[in-house]
Amino acid sequence: MSRDRGEKVLPACGEAYLPVDPSMPQSFIFLRNEAKRARKYGAWLKL
C-alpha cells in the first residue's frame, strides 16, 4: 500500500458498482484481494 508502513493510507474505489457484473467474476476477486491487502497493511478501504 505504501513504502512506509507507518503512513496512513486510504485507497478508494470510485464507482465500484461499474465492474460488479456476475458475468465477470474477476472484478469480485480483485476487490476482495484489495480489501485483504488493505487489512494486511493496516489501511482503510473505501468503496
Q: Which three cell numbers stand for residue 40?
A: 494486511
DSSP assignment of the chain equals --SSTTS----B-TTTTSS--TT-HHHHHHHHHHHHHHHHTT---B-
For the chain (47 residues), the mean pLDDT of every run of 10, in chain order, is: 71 70 81 83 72
pLDDT at residue 2, rounded to an integer: 61
Query: Residues 19, 27: contact at Cβ < 8 Å?
Result: yes
How high is the pLDDT of residue 35?
Answer: 82
Contact call for residues 35 and 1 (beta carbons, < 8 A): no
Contact 30, 38 (CB under 8 A): no
Q: Can you give the residue ranges of every domain in the chain?
A: 1-47
- The reported pTM is 0.58
What pLDDT was estimated at residue 24? 79
